[in-house]
Structure 1
Amino acid sequence: MPTIQQIVKEIRKTLSSFDITKGIELSDNEAKTRMYLVEPFFESLRYNRGFENSNLVPEYDADFASLKGKKVDYAILFRNKPEIIVEVKKCSVKLNDKHLAQLNEYFNNTNDCKIGILTNGIQYEFYCRNNNGNNNGLHPTPFYVFDWENIDGSQLEKLAEFYVTEINTKDIIDSAQDSFFMEGFEEALFKELVKPSTEFVKAVFSHMNGKRLTENIEKQIRDLINSVSIKSALDRLIIEESSNANSGIITTDDELKVYHVIKTILAQHKQIETNSVGYKDFKGKFSIILDDNQKKKVCDLYITPTSHKIDIDGEKIEIPDIDSIVKLKKRLIDKALSLL
């Protein structure tokens, strides 16, 4: 079985050899966009188009409940079930919320569907279910966007997860949901610090040994919560966490950020206690460990201003962003469980 690197190389070669400019010129309506752009794209991932014994089925006649007689442009089938649906627009059309609403309607009424793709043949937006919303529709933000006119390495690594022999929709969705969770946490924390809630102010005042929070005191505390005080507290937090690790080495903000992402990932497994996850900082590397025991090492981080890498069981992997860390969720949890 080919490695991910080999698959990435194959996809890059196939997509790069395709005359995208010619394909765009020919795609002057939706039907031609499907023929000249969308189908070649999915062929690069080795999906077979057709009506029988295929996994890329055009004009899929799904059970749309109240939408009887309507068809989705494509369905990608696994074990004869439509786990991915694709809504196509003419290549000259800029994808918008109206198109997403249409995809969402199909998604909500298609049994077994797990991922929705919205495309104009050039840009491909991948959506999954919104677990944090009030309904079971698609998350309003795509978890992955592929732009055929601007291909880069990180795009292809993600795209390789959809290669026909590699795809695991459950793992892809879990990874997307973890990314949304981390982004949501950071956004919520930012909003709380920008405009502190009364509950937050009360918590701060309580740590000041305050007894009665008056309107004047609340205003004073709100005025003090700013970038200067937050930066000062952050510097102290870094020193404190460094001291707790007994390393004698100043731990960097980048190392702590990656550490907290991995700790959050591990803590989501019910068998891994949040408080058991810690770290030990060394000169040149940063180890994430369990139970304050260096023999229970989950991974090593090698973080510099120009390079972010993680070492799991001797394999070093680039982690340029949160998504690349979340992709390693299963490996990190499996490693941690093996140490328990």
Structure 2
Amino acid sequence: MDLSDHLLQIASRIPSQLPHLLTEEATKNALVLPFLNGLGYNVFDPTEVVPEFIADVGTKKGEKVDYVIMRDGKPALLIECKPVGSKLHINHASQLFRYFSVTDARFAILTNGTDYQFYTDIEAPNKMDEKPFFEFSMLSLDQRAIEELRKFSKSAFDVGRILTTASELKYKKQIQALLSKELEAPSDDLVRHFAKQVYGGTYTLAVKTQFTQLVGDTFKEFIKDRVTQRIQSALDGNIGAPASTSITPTETRASNNSPVGEEDVVTTSEETEAFHIVRAILSKHVQPVRVVMRDTKSYCGVLLDDNNRKPICRLRFNYSQKYIGLFDAEKNEEKFPLNVPLDIFKFEERLVEAVANYENPNSKTTEAGEIVKAESA
């Protein structure tokens, strides 16, 4: 199973698990260990994943870090866990700071089971930075985070490769935070910078007040215009797309496997993320390799066995409002709105039912989403 499928399956279970995770140990067992296993590490092999790792530091004897990932017999990744729901703060990482300086590990993770912060030593060699270079939440997992996590998987782990992008990730995040802050309340320096370039008079307090409002409003209008342009561009590329919610699944369109209009078909990261969610949901019922994505100009189709006559769903993400198209036993499509790709987990029963219709026409699905064979009359 692909890394995306593993992580999305874990993410889908978290909301129902949270009320039962009352201790740090419960958090480790239910959330952290499955996460490490999803990255490809054998959590039952003490030569690969070491729990309660001890490395005496000065006068601090017998202190432990919760887990250490070993590579070639040496610590590569330190992991400190906190109870689920805890607010992660650098003050919670005292053991990581100490262990980072006395082991060969170049990376450390601070986590509460849902939120993960990744650290390294960008600022000073062999000294863990006070700010993470990468962080994400399993409760809002997206394809971009999954691709970053792929670098930490057992099969792809490469210290040099991760370090080459770590500083870029860290500083981009900080710049984005500054831009967000400036967007909400432009700083005096930024206002002065723009005012002096467009205003020829004396920069008085009244001018500063006027331009503070102007700069803030202009930023927001600029972003709004860019978003509108992107949406309009997507709409212009789909003029003539059918508006009906009932579409025969056997109709043919230009796809990535077809020479007709091939250069116009672009699979977005959200479509890829949504496809992996669908495949993760169905992996309990069919081999994941049988669930195939076929993109077209009007929608991104998910098929069983790459067969046009076996549509599982259609991802209609080319408009400002995203939809998932689901099929009944007669292959009629019904569209449902989505806010984010993770909303697809709400339609697990319908997706399983679609597959069941092709695997066994007489089958049905239970409320738990399991496929069972219907009894003959």
The TM-score with structure 1 as length reference comes to 0.51
Establish whether residue 83 from structure 1 lines up as the match of residue 76 from structure 2: yes
| 1:251–1:115 distance in 2 versus 1, CA, 3 Å | same
Correspondence for 1:252? 229
- Which of the numbers 31, 55, 60 marks the counterpart of 2:48? 55
Is the alpha carbon distance of 1:103 and 1:117 closer, same or farther for their aligned partners in structure 2, counting shifts above 3 Å? Answer: farther
Structure 2 SS opposite 1:126: strand
User: Which letter maps to 1:252?
Assistant: Q
What amino acid sits opposite 1:219 in the alignment?
T
Quick one: structure 1 residues 11 and 35, their matched pair in 2 at CA, closer, same or farther if it must change by over 3 Å?
closer
Post-superposition Cα deviations, 1:138-180, rounded to whole Å, max 9, x if no partner, equal 4258513335xx8777765554443311223444455454344
How much does 1:75 deviate? 0.9
Opposite residue 229 of structure 2, the aligned amino acid is T
Please list the CA deviations of residues 81-115 of structure 1 after superposition, one character each: whole Å capped at 9, or x if unmatched. 322111234x5663543773335434543433333
Letter in 2 for 1:80: G
In the TM superposition, residue 194 of structure 1 has moved relative to its aligned partner by 4.2
Structure 2: segments with no counterpart, 5+ residues: 238-263, 274-294, 296-377
Q: Does 1:101 align with 2:97?
A: no
Between the two proteins, the alignment pairs up a number of residues equal to 251
Question: Are 2:174 and 1:181 equivalent residues in the alignment?
Answer: no
Aligned match for 1:112, one of 84, 104, 119: 104
Distance 1:9 1:223 in 2: 47
Q: How does 1:119-134 map to 2 (within 5 A)?
A: 119-120=111-112, 122-123=113-114, 125-129=116-120, 131=122
After TM superposition, give the deviation of residue 42 of structure 1 in Å.
2.9
CA gap of 1:44–1:18, structure 2 versus 1, over 3 A, is farther
Name 2:216's counterpart in structure 1. Answer: 226
**Matches of 2:14 and 2:190 in 1, distance apart?**
56
The one of 191, 195, 213 equivalent to 1:205 is: 195
CA distance in 1, matches of 2:53, 2:22: 23
Cα shift readout 1:205-260 (whole Å, capped 9, x = no counterpart): 33236254233333333343332x34566689x7xxxxxxxxxxx9935899xxxx
* Cα separation, 2, equivalents of 1:8 and 1:117: 20
| Residues in 2 aligned to 1:92 and 1:202: alpha-carbon distance in whole angstroms | 45
| 1:70 equivalent among 59, 63, 85 | 63
Distance between the aligned counterparts of 1:218 and 1:152, measured in 2?
A: 41
**Distance change (3 Å), C-alpha of 1:126 and 1:224:** closer
Cα distance, 1:188 vs structure 2: 1.8
How far is 1:130 from its partner? 7.4
Sort the Cα spacing of 1:204 and 1:39 in 2 relative to 1 into closer, same or farther, 3 A: closer
Whether the aligned pair in 1 keeps the contact of 2:3 and 2:38 (CA below 8 Å) is: no
Q: Are the structure 2 counterparts of residues 183 and 47 from structure 1 closer, same or farther at C-alpha, using a change threshold of 3 Å?
A: closer
Return the offset for 1:57.
1.6
| Structure 1 residue runs without a partner (length 5+) | 239-249, 257-282, 285-299, 310-315, 317-340
Quote the Cα distance in structure 2 between the aligned partners of 1:190 and 1:11: 29
Hey, what's the Cα distance between the residues in 1 that align with 2:272 and 2:120?
A: 30
Which secondary structure state, in structure 2, belongs to the residue aligned with residue 216 of structure 1?
A: helix
Matched-pair contact (CA < 8 Å) for 1:49–1:55: yes
**Secondary structure at the residue paired with 1:252?**
helix
2:2 is matched with 6
1:226 partner SS: helix
Letter of the structure 2 residue corresponding to residue 126 of structure 1: Q
Q: Could you say what the CA RMSD is over the residues aligned between the two structures, in angstroms?
A: 5.4
Give the fraction of aligned pairs with identical amino acids, expressed as a percent.
Answer: 23
Q: CA deviation at 1:183?
A: 3.3
Q: Distance in 1 between matches of 2:192 and 2:101?
A: 46
Q: Deviations over 1:275-318 (max 9, x none)?
A: xxxxxxxx96xxxxxxxxxxxxxxx99599x8699xxxxxx9xx
For residues 118 and 233 of structure 1, the distance between their equivalents in structure 2, rounded to whole angstroms, comes to: 37
Name the aligned partner's letter for residue 93 of structure 2: A
Alignment of 1:1-340 (within 5 A): 6-9=2-5, 34=28, 38-49=32-43, 54-89=47-82, 94=86, 96-97=88-89, 100-106=92-98, 108-120=100-112, 122-123=113-114, 125-129=116-120, 131=122, 136-139=128-131, 143-146=135-138, 159-172=149-162, 174-175=164-165, 177-208=167-198, 210=200, 212-227=202-217, 229-230=218-219, 252=229, 302=266
- 8 A Cα contact 2:133 2:166, kept in partner: no
Once the two structures are TM-superposed, the CA of residue 77 in structure 1 deviates from its matched residue by 1.7
Structure showing greater radius of gyration is: 2
Q: CA deviation at 1:74?
A: 1.5
| C-alpha distance in 1 between matches for 2:168 and 2:96 | 21
8 A Cα contact 2:3 2:39, kept in partner: no
Cα pair 1:108 1:137 within 8 Å, conserved: no
Give the counterpart letter for 2:48 in structure 1.
N
Question: d(CA) in 1 for partners of 2:80 and 2:96?
Answer: 10
Q: Secondary structure at the match of 2:2?
A: helix
Query: Match of 2:155, SS?
Result: coil
**Cα–Cα, structure 1 residues 209 and 110, in superposed 2: closer, same or farther, change >3 Å?**
same
Quote the Cα distance in structure 1 between the aligned partners of 2:175 and 2:123: 12
